[in-house]
Structure 1
Amino acid sequence: MNINLRSHMMRPIRAACLGTATVLVTLLACAPVAAAAAEDTASSHAKVHDRVITLFGVLAQQTRFPVNPGGTAAQGDRTAFRSDLFYDEQGKNRVGQTDGTCTTTWVNPKDTNDQAEVCVVTYSLPGGQLTVQGMIFGNLTASPPPSFDNAITGGTGVFDRARGMVHADTIGVGERRFTIDLDN
């Protein structure tokens, strides 16, 4: 069977939905964003260069769209979510929000809690937006949900052409710590 990899890689991002909202609450910080904008005021595309930002996310809204309502997890289950982002763990100094969707792509037939999801998230922050996408693996219904790493695929404003990764760890119910590693 001949597979055209380019056509699979070029599918629109909107075709990939983001799931498990408690798993995806990716965050960015206000002070580093403002500092990044001040680095190059001569350019309308001031960039964030090789920096690490730690943010804290709190799930604000989540809706699940199961393939089998009331049944077990299934391929195609979707979750849409929104989270508030903070610079501090105490939930003061709100700096933005995440909005995303996840779609279940695999469910272990022997353990329906063992799943994989593909997620797409937008981080709206002062000075621009970051787009992030990737896979989440493991027992997605566990408490706490598993940590994950996703790729930064681009951005707008001070995040124009951003690359790097986001690492997320659960720190409480509906709460995550996001370590954003931006490359230039």
Structure 2
Amino acid sequence: MKGFITAVASLALSSVLSISHASDVDSPKLDDQWQSWPTVGSADLDFLFFDIYTSELKAPQGSYQLGDDLTPHPVALSIVYERDISKKHLLKETKKQWAHLGYKEEQFTRWERKLAGIYPEIKKGDRLVYVTSGDSGVFYYFKGNQGATVVGEIQDEELNDAFLAIWLSPNTEYPDHRASLIGMNQ
């Protein structure tokens, strides 16, 4: 069950918004814009009696464009965690989801090294937001009630798409969660 909770937690990388950069990472020009984007959809991930996280997908036009390209336009995936999750567990569950989606181990081993430098130790109430332009993106971390800190940037379009595929791919382990996020259940 702990593995399932971790998997669920790794699906939860999104949240709310107030940015104060505390990093040397150069961010795309989407920095402030994404906070005012309309919500496409939201979903809660629960297991039995355990709340794992609440996620929300935002886009400039308030809709998600379905197609072969998972990120054809800018989106922001926000996850508010409802339990503590270690970085190690988050990485393990991310890899598990990539394996489920059919990515090769040599791919996600390389990606794991990148995310190991980005993922924080999550505490209940923290929020992780990934904002993508469609081919690259930035991670924002909201620790408790504090403002956002840029914790990393993805310039590799393949990793950008693989990360978002965990939630947005039609082959995700959680299709009902995906349907709610992309606005199909509204």
Global fold match (TM > 0.5): no
The structure with more radius of gyration: 1
Structure having the larger proportion of residues in helix: 2
Identify the TM-score tier after normalising by the shorter chain: 0.3 to 0.5
